[in-house]
């Protein structure tokens, strides 16, 4: 758990599941995972890792990249 005692003037707490649990919960909710990757960013000198997931509901068509 992460705590910031003065986030926008109030205490704020963050918490999340690990990668395996997050992906399992998404699958149990009916999502098909198309891509999942972790990216680490520096936030005020602290390494913070985010899990980015691209998924779709079971039975929905796959997403294809749109032309730029």
Range of the domain at 27: 17-57
* 28 within some domain: yes
Proportion of the chain in helix, strand, coil states, percent, rounded to 5: 15, 55, 30
* 52 within some domain: yes
* 41 within some domain: yes
* 35 within some domain: yes
* 48 within some domain: yes
DSSP 28-58: HTTEEEEEEEEEEEEETTEEEEEEEEEEEET
Instruction: Write out pLDDT tens, residues 9-64.
Output: 999 887 889 999 999 999 999 999 999 999 999 988 889 899 999 999 877 777 66
Domain count, the chain: 1
Instruction: Write out pLDDT tens, residues 50-61.
Output: 999 999 987 777
pTM metric for this prediction: 0.67
pLDDT of residue 61: 72
pLDDT of residue 55: 92
């Amino acid at each position: 758990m992460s705590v910031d005692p003065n986030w926008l003037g109030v205490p704020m707490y963050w918490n999340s599941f690990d990668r395996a649990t997050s992906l399992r919960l998404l699958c149990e909710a009916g999502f098909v995972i198309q891509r999942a990757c972790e990216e680490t960013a520096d936030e005020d000198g602290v390494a913070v890792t985010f899990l980015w997931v691209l998924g779709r509901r079971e039975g929905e068509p796959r997403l294809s990249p749109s032309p730029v």
